[in-house]
Structure 1
């Protein structure tokens, strides 16, 4: 496991590439959009500079980490010598199935194919390939270089050897891998998303305001971040997508997304990434509450 390919240069993809490269692996960071690759490398550089400022790494460590990363816009070229491919594209099942079918054709037969999906079935993704025993979930937490948890999700056909290999590999990254089985939402989001959804319902029903709900959970439950602020950080579109996957998978009304969440996503208020969500992240009104306009 020396050569790692990462599909997608967005928030999760560049974080995964950063983590592998800093641990000494050769990383091929792949995205069809060259501008996304440039932004990804800029983000990695900025995060490395923060580590230098905190005296956690040296300038030499930064240089070596960046030297370990090569960028590609051609998937077939980028994965050619990979021992492991980690897909971190948008949380869209059709896109992931298309990518994995392409990876299956382009990669060596022994290459392990992993997905960073936060909710989509590993078994379904694996079924689009001719190597379902070598397909596994590696659900990293955001921000990837800092958060130590990785959910390792076994599909129905994922082999013991592949699971053990990825568990050991995750530990080499300084992570704490936890093995879970393939059911909608896995463990992290099966528990987290209903809490976030219920927080939005509490706001929607007028029980309390945004700051009040977040304050109760931070001070009363010792959460480092309130659920509505966390939803903004994750992305309200991502939260909605995960809830839909769980609702479709379980057919249980407790997973039905709150209408307020649906309206906010439809209006383009996605949280930090769009500048507005339950809080306003623009420079002029940073951290002011704007969600009330959707009630």
Structure 2
């Protein structure tokens, strides 16, 4: 009788031992406010496991409520089913500790803005240090930002080459494009992996050199300032200006609607940073924006900005528009 051939069962895929981990099988997000929730939703929809860090159980629940509302809107427009919603939510988990990021191969910092519309640079550096202590050497650490230079965030880390900036352009609800910024230390391998991530979640991307405001914000702020100037001159109303933007220029939303969604309290300090960086008056916040900011008329978050909004964030249509 011929000798029986014996082969290790692992070779037939019945064990995960020695099996190579799939890139971006699990990602982490630090901060799950408006921006972090959008990233979590997009990634989970693409089949990626997501774990996000928040500072309290209440904040974790708020994030899940926000994500659930976004998915409910897709269901209402026939873009999603209830079972698909459950599957997506099943891929997302909240945590209160950095230790939960241990097995992630990609973590994105997306901390919330404070009451002054700013995100502390020192706090973000601390987050990068925390992540470096937890993650594997080849795991990518990214920031979702348009105003912070990634080189500065990575400068004090041991493995600087795995740091990168990616900015999810969120001025439009349906925006599906990323600005990817290589820092001074960012390796080709890190950059190429982030490009793969963009493709994996179905996003287009553009590569941008390190610069305050990148492309999207610089263009938007100039348009917003000019719209404010037209409004202050009394030429027409906000709704008419937004109509020109949408119908005449082919945009999905008007400039004032976008500003209210972004938050005036975030826009003003970013514009002031650009003004300091470049010294150009085109970036100096309009007096109208400054007035709205001082009055805390920040847009959707406070239910009043250029327009008024109901509790669910829908714009209130006035009587003149109805006619």
TM-score when normalising by structure 2: 0.82
Structure 2: tracts of 5 or more residues without a match: 1-23
Q: Which has the larger Rg?
A: 2
- When the two chains are superposed, the root-mean-square deviation of aligned CA atoms in Å is 2.3
Determine the structure 2 residue equivalent to 1:292: none
Structure 1 moving runs of 4+ over 6 Å: none
Over residues 126-179 of structure 1, what are the superposed CA-to-partner deviations in whole Å (9 max), with x where a residue is unaligned?
Answer: 224333321111211338984211111111221111111100111011111221
- How far 1:78 moved relative to its partner? 2.6
Instruction: Give yes or no for the alignment of 1:22 onto 2:52.
Output: no
Given candidates 136, 152, 155, the residue that maps to 2:164 is 136
1:41 aligns with 2:64: yes
Pair 1:80 & 2:108 matched: no
CA gap 1:180/1:60 in 2 versus in 1, 3 angstroms:
same
Question: After alignment, is 79-88 or 248-257 more displaced?
Answer: 248-257
Select the residue among 256, 261, 277 that pairs with 1:249: 277
Distance 2:173 2:228 in 1: 29
Q: Which moved more, 1:220-229 or 1:168-177?
A: 220-229
Tell me, yes or no, if the aligned pair for 2:198 and 2:205 is still in contact at 8 Å: yes
2:171–2:261 CA contact under 8 A, matched in 1: no
Q: How many residues align?
A: 288
Query: Any gaps of 5 or more consecutive residues in structure 1?
Result: 290-295
Residue 309 (structure 2) aligned to one of 274, 281, 286? 281
Asked if residue 199 in structure 1 is aligned to residue 257 in structure 2, the reply is no
Q: Do structure 1's residue 268 and structure 2's residue 290 form an aligned pair?
A: no
When residues 128 and 145 of structure 1 are mapped into structure 2, their CA distance, relative to the original with a 3 A threshold, is farther
Alignment of 1:92-111 (within 5 A): 92-94=119-121, 95-111=123-139
What TM-score results when the alignment is normalised by the length of structure 1? Answer: 0.89
- Is the partner of 1:279 in helix, strand or coil? coil
Change (3 A) 1:83 1:271: same
Residue deviations 1:41-73, cap 9 Å, x none? Answer: 122223223333444334332222111111101
C-alpha contact 1:119 1:189 (8 A) present in aligned 2: no
